[in-house]
Amino acid sequence: MTPPATAGGTDKSSASIAPLRSPYLLKAVCSSFIRNLANLHALDYKAAGLEKLGHPDGYVRRQVEGWTTRYFAAKTDENPDLESAISWLNAKIPGESGVSLVHNDYKFDNIMLDPEDLTKITAVLDWEMVTIGDPLMDLGTTLGYWMDKDAGEQMLNMPFNPRVLMENVTRRDLAEMYSDASGRNVSDILYYYVFGTFKIAVIAQQIFARYVKGSTSDEHFANFGGFARALGRIASNAVSSGKI
């Protein structure tokens, strides 16, 4: 097994000469990104002495119910789309699909790429939420950050992923890349994607609530209520369409 954070290098000379926007390089970078997540999930956390990081039994239910509680504690305005998705998530909580290390915030602005070979990941950052849990919940969060062309300019321009990647590689592409790399069944990925989108919406709502209450005066956070509403709409649309 290839260790995470060094996975996914394709032929270095080919990647180095490929144009930045070439379909080959775009897919190769995304494949490396997702393969690295699969490698993280394949690590033997017990052999590494990390089994005390979390409690995997009931992980999915705790996550859904915990983030639901956090949302209502931070609620400032009506968000019917998001609350519809919350009801759906709580009504359809699945059992665990497996147990692994879970990063909990795996996205492009939490990785570092080799500037000489953009298909090679040299580091993964921001580990404060790492735990032991269901790997598909981790994948769902990663997919939740991944916007498509229908998300609108505001969401496509958020800094969490390079826009050029999101416009050329779909969430379905990423899910299939993960399945190929991990051997895991992703046929029920809709649930985990909706959860990831909901979780990110709650984070945005928590930040906005602090702004509304005057806990922060940074005007940048005045837009976060709009982000929460947009993410609620995206989650609700995914539930209605049955597609990620």
Domains of the chain, CATH where assigned:
12-241 (3.90.1200.10)
Is pLDDT above 80 for 159? no
Is pLDDT above 90 for 233? yes
Percent of the chain with pLDDT over 70: 91
Is pLDDT above 80 for 11? no
Lowest mean pLDDT among 82-86, 210-214, 219-223: 219-223
Is pLDDT above 90 for 158? no
Given this model, what pLDDT does residue 22 score?
84
pLDDT digits (tens, 9 = 90+) for 88-125: 999 999 999 999 999 999 999 999 999 999 999 999 99
Rounded to an integer, the average pLDDT of 47-60 is 95
Lowest mean pLDDT among 42-51, 114-123, 150-159, 232-241: 150-159
pLDDT band, very low/low/confident/very high, at 20 (cuts 50, 70, 90): low
Rounded to an integer, the average pLDDT of 66-84 is 97
Is pLDDT above 70 for 63? yes
Given this model, what pLDDT does residue 7 score?
40
Token pair, residue 242, equals 């049955």
Token pair, residue 155, equals 């969401």
Rg over alpha carbons for the chain, rounded to the nearest Å, is 18
Least Cα distance to 140 among 50, 54, 63 occurs for 63
- Sign, CA dihedral 173-177-180-184, equals negative
Write b or e for each residue in 114-142: b if 16 or more Cβ atoms lie within 10 A of its Cβ, otherwise e: beebbbbbeebeeeeebbbbbbbbbbbbb
pLDDT band, very low/low/confident/very high, at 9 (cuts 50, 70, 90): very low
- Sign, CA dihedral 149-151-153-158, equals negative
Q: What is the mean pLDDT of the chain?
A: 90
Question: What is the C-alpha separation between 178 and 184, in angstroms, rounded?
Answer: 8
pLDDT band, very low/low/confident/very high, at 17 (cuts 50, 70, 90): very low
Given this model, what pLDDT does residue 180 score?
97
Token pair, residue 134, equals 């269901």
